[in-house]
Amino acid sequence: MANLKQEISIRRTFGIISHPDAGKTTLTEKLLLFGGAIQVAGAVKSNKIKKSATSDFMDIERQRGISVATSVMAFEYRGKKINILDTPGHKDFAEDTYRTLTAVDSVIVVIDVAKGVEPQTEKLVKVCRMRKTPIIVFINKLDREGKDGFDLLDDLEQKLGLTVTPLSWPIGMGQRFKGVYNRYEKKLNLFSAHGKQTQEETIEFTDLNNPELETHIGEAAAKELREETHLIEEVYPELDLEAYSKGDLSPVFFGSAINNFGVKELLDCFVEIAPTPLPRITEERQVNPEEDKFSGFIFKIHANMDPKHRDRIAFLRICSGTFERNTNYFHVRNNKKIKFSNPTAFMASKKSVVDEAFPGDIVGLYDSGNFKIGDSLTEGEIIHFKGIPSFSPEQFRFVENADPMKSKQLAKGLTQLMDEGVAQLFTKDFNNRKIIGTVGALQFDVIQYRLKHEYGASCNYEPVNLHKACWVECDDPVKFKEFKNRRKRDMAHDKDGKPVFLAESAWVLKSTQENFPEVKFHFQSDF
């Protein structure tokens, strides 16, 4: 039996978030490269024609070059066990990302040096700040022309509301990019393109006033670097680990992930300062990682990770105690015991069976339909983990079966994809027509594609004019019945059978709320 406290102390579980195209998946690759988890970038899917990133393992992601599903990858580095959750940057998949953020203990935010802070990043960082998640910022693509370093720091403070402390500082950028001065380790890292980052180019430099600086980077750059680091010391706070761990201070690193530059510095600092697995709040109490008894929650379900075997995998974040293979655990919502004969750990699409896992770890459980997102597993205690919502969708389509011979496959495919949280399915009460609701339009293509390729079912969409879907409840059964009768044509239910009001327009929603003050309208399902 491994020592639980020790296992917790070596674990770091974090998510990587950013706007699309800021280089998040590339950064993930390079972290894996340093961790020795892969030998060549893009190698995991290496066919000679096209090397695509390790963590993008669904067909549709490779075709479109975006990350659709959150990938989980684990590797060891400097005696620590690192779990990375790479999240989709595309706004149409924000919901998957929000849920993933419930399963991490800290995040790395990737910013494109040319574009600065973008809207999608603002939304995601807001969620992290709400939960007081510790944040490290990586400013990427320094080998391209971009914004001035100080302007970027202002951007982070104003748009994201972060208090920042730069732990490394760029020497020029784009054409003039010479390297990075690592303030955290007092080292000078000289840049050479093509990612041949070897130890030789890292020079110990405890004192920037040393005249040797000119021989490495030239006179103009040396002068600029001295002035700028002096300014940083005057203006920005020192690194305070307690403030960082409370989410009040964010270290900033500069680099170029594609050239493998500045990534090791980020990783070395991260393994030292990032928090070990943190307590989790449930409706009943706070769960601490050191508790003897196992507990965890499902934050994601992925159907057909291997299309040859109709498998669904439920991703479990372990919150306390030790999870063991072939042990009976209590499924709180279903009120029954289940055991798992082959729980898996991940290396993007490579999987290996685990015998035991500890707080902070993410384990994949083969699932024949027992799990929903947000489910708790324990050794018998009844607890419900909080904060894993479904959001009110913003885009809607009627879904029709395009092949009557395949109606069973379509029903199964829709049920499984909805359980995965890709989108939401509403069934109208008065005519049983099915409506799919999503956060973004791209989801509809993904659903159609996956139904065809994974379930052999075809569907067509028809436009439906809707503004919002709201979950409704009412303490007075008589008033609720009257409401449902009066608004019969707008009523539907979600896949769990909860009543949902489908509002055609903002005006309809507002007037209905005024006409039925006793009814509560909710914009997310975990009200």
> What CA–CA distance (Å, rounded) separates 374 from 296?
10
Q: Are residues 242 and 285 in the same domain?
A: no
Question: Is 77 a member of any domain?
Answer: no
Rounded Cα distance between 464 and 473, Å, is 24
How many Å apart are CA 436 and CA 414, to the nearest integer?
9
Q: Which range of residues forms the domain containing residue 435?
A: 395-522
127/175 same-domain check: yes
Q: To 10 degrees, the CA torsion angle through 337, 341, 345, 351?
A: -140
Tokens of 305: 């990770």
Task: Kindly state the average pLDDT of the residues 129-133.
Answer: 83
Q: Domain ends where: 228, 256, 273?
A: 273
CA 166-169-173 angle, 5° bins: 135
Closest CA to 497 of 413, 429, 421: 429
Tens-place pLDDT, residues 53-92:
545 545 555 554 444 444 677 888 888 888 888 766 555 5
pTM of the model: 0.74
Is position 136 within any domain? yes
Assigned domain for 19 exists: yes
**Is residue 304 pLDDT above 60, yes or no?**
no
Distance of CA 429 to the CA centre of its chain: 35
Do 425 and 359 fall within a single domain?
A: no
Other Cβ atoms less than 10 A from the Cβ of 169: the count is 18
The CATH number linked to 324 is 3.40.50.300
* Percent of the chain clearing pLDDT 70 (strictly above): 82
Q: Is the domain of 143 the same as that of 209?
A: yes
Q: Does residue 381 have a pLDDT over 60?
A: yes
Domain boundary among 248, 273, 298: 273
Q: Is residue 84 part of a domain?
A: no
Q: How many domains does the chain have?
A: 3
Query: Is the pLDDT at 428 greater than 90, yes or no?
Result: yes
Cβ(192)–Cβ(157) under 8 Å? no
Do 138 and 15 share a domain, yes or no?
yes
On the question of pLDDT at 440 being above 80, the answer is no
Q: Residue 94 falls within a domain, yes or no?
A: no
Radius of gyration of the chain (CA): 25
Is the same domain home to 197 and 52? yes
Residue 489 lies in a domain: yes
The verdict on 252 and 359 lying in the same domain is no
Q: Which of 273, 296, 326 is the last residue of a domain?
A: 273
Same-domain pairing of 318 and 432:
no
Q: How far apart are CA 142 and CA 176, in angstroms?
A: 10
Same domain, 173 and 306: no
Looking at the structure, tell me whether residues 116 and 245 fall in a common domain.
yes
Confirm whether 88 is domain-assigned: no
pLDDT surpassing 80 at residue 375: yes
pLDDT score of 525: 67
For residue 357, the SS3 value is strand
Whether residues 442 and 320 fall in one domain: no
Q: Could you give the C-alpha distances from 372 to 368, 480, 496, in angstroms and in order? A: 11, 28, 10
> Checking phi first, is residue 406 left (phi over 0); if not, alpha (psi -120 to 50) or beta?
alpha
Q: 304 with 253, same domain?
A: no
- What is the per-residue pLDDT across 454-509, written as a single tens digit (0 to 9) for each? 888 999 999 998 988 889 999 999 999 999 999 999 999 988 888 999 999 989 99
pLDDT, one tens digit per residue, over 113-123 is: 888 888 778 87
CATH number at residue 506: 3.30.70.3280
Domain-embedded: residue 432: yes
